[in-house]
Amino acid sequence: MCAMAVSQPDLVALGRWMDEQGLPGDTIGEVSPIGGGTQNIMIRFTRGGREYVLRRGPEHLRAKSNEVIAREARLLTALDGTEIRAPRVIAACIDPSVLGAVFYLMEPIRGFNPQTELPDLHANDPEIRRRMGLSAIEAIARLGTVDYLALGLADYGRPEGFLERQVPRWLRELDTYAANEGYPGPQIPDVERIGDWLDRNRPADPSPGIMHGDCHLANMMFDYDGPEVAAMVDWEMSTIGDPLLDLGWQLATRPEPGTVGAGLMGTLGTVGGLPTPEEMIRHYAEFSDRDLRAVTWYEVLACFKLGIVLEGTHARAFAGKAPKQVGDFLHAVTLELFEKARKLID
């Protein structure tokens, strides 16, 4: 997900490290957090006449936070020079002793996040919003066609058996939430039933590709002067797997006005106007030759997986590691996602 505002990093240590990387010197200024989410930290600043965005793990680092940020930096560096719309990494630091966590610097993205902003052009024109949705579909479809082997990413994931691992992997993740003090356990109906359906109806593994892994519209930025995606952001769940899960993710998270989940999209979730699921699937097929006959299965898996991911923030809120209001809201979204999954399989 997105960033969470916290205290600024050690600017002296950051400047010293930037000097070691040969980046333009000067005093660090105009430091401001980029907010709007619940997970990783992002901070904008200037130095030597250049703008930067620093990204690192959350204030309360999780067991794999540093590994995740290091992986993100590696993938984004590999994607630089391709047609994929993603942030451009300037430099990465995998030594957590510098700032207390692994981090990387990237160029700012010129665009808006629809979770927190919807310019007049987009707010007042439903056709622009429909084309925003289609641009997002094109972006993930093109990502799934990239030759990850040619980019040196053969070991970035384990594509063999990717689909078979999904249900047990995320059920284990759900079990780990019990470690959060005060968490009463996942009160989510039909977790086991939906997991069983996914295992029984699993499609054969297709050819592997790069997955964003969390490609809802709040993790995309759009051009101010049109509907096109400026960049896909927040790549912490990226891997080499089945890119059709990204399509399922888009379908599962499509904001429907009046639903709890639409609240994740701010004004965009209220006004709607996005393409229909059928339009989204047809548009994906224009940029990919993958077999789309089992697309419903991928949407159910997306509901299952994302619901469990969001429940993690709910669990951490009980232990004081996330705001209670945010945890309660995301738990409500989880329940909605599982309800959608039940309707799809019924």
Same domain? For 72 and 127 the reply is no
In which band, very low, low, confident or very high, does the pLDDT at 260 lie, cut at 50, 70 and 90?
very high
- pLDDT digits over 8-41, tens only? 788 999 999 999 999 998 999 999 998 754 478 9
Same domain? For 151 and 300 the reply is yes
Q: How many CB atoms lie within 10 A of CB 302?
A: 26
- pLDDT digits over 293-324, tens only? 999 999 999 999 999 999 999 999 999 988 99
Same domain? For 320 and 220 the reply is yes
pLDDT at 36: 52
Q: What is the mean pLDDT of the chain?
A: 94
The closest alpha carbon to 79, from 156, 23, 1, 159, belongs to 156
Question: Does residue 301 sit within a domain?
Answer: yes
Rounded to whole angstroms, how far apart are CA atoms 10 and 86?
27
In which band, very low, low, confident or very high, does the pLDDT at 5 lie, cut at 50, 70 and 90?
very low
- In the block, which residue shows the tokens 């019990």? 178
327 close to 333: Cβ distance less than 8 angstroms:
no
Question: Taking 90 as the threshold, does the pLDDT of residue 202 lie above it?
Answer: yes
Amino acid at 59: E
- Of 1-10, 114-123, 181-190, 285-294, give the lowest mean pLDDT range: 1-10
Q: How many domains does the chain have?
A: 2
pLDDT at 34: 86
Same domain? For 257 and 146 the reply is yes
pLDDT at 58: 87
Same domain? For 178 and 279 the reply is yes
Question: Taking 50 as the threshold, does the pLDDT of residue 1 lie above it?
Answer: no
Rounded to whole angstroms, how far apart are CA atoms 35 and 18?
24
- The helix/strand/coil state of 105 is strand
Same domain? For 146 and 257 the reply is yes
- The helix/strand/coil state of 294 is coil
Amino acid at 66: N
- The helix/strand/coil state of 194 is helix
Domain termination site, one of 106, 137, 156: 106
Q: What whole-number percentage of the chain has pLDDT above 70?
A: 97
Give the CATH number of the domain where residue 98 resides.
3.30.200.20
Question: Taking 80 as the threshold, does the pLDDT of residue 44 lie above it?
Answer: yes
Burial class (CB in 10 A: 0-12, 13-18, 19+), 322: buried
pLDDT at 225: 97
Mean pLDDT of 188-202: 97
User: Following CA atoms 319, 320, 325, 328 in sequence, which dihedral angle do they give, to the nearest 10 degrees?
Assistant: -10
pLDDT at 4: 40
Give the CATH number of the domain where residue 297 resides.
3.90.1200.10
121 close to 128: Cβ distance less than 8 angstroms:
yes
- pLDDT digits over 56-78, tens only? 998 888 888 999 999 999 999 99
In which band, very low, low, confident or very high, does the pLDDT at 7 lie, cut at 50, 70 and 90?
low
Same domain? For 54 and 141 the reply is no
Domain termination site, one of 84, 106, 128: 106
pLDDT at 63: 83
Rounded to whole angstroms, how far apart are CA atoms 300 and 196?
12
Q: Report the chain's C-alpha Rg in angstroms.
A: 20
pLDDT at 206: 82
> Domain range holding 31?
8-106
Does an H or E element contain 91, and which?
Answer: strand 89-93
Domain termination site, one of 106, 140, 166: 106
Question: Does residue 312 sit within a domain?
Answer: yes
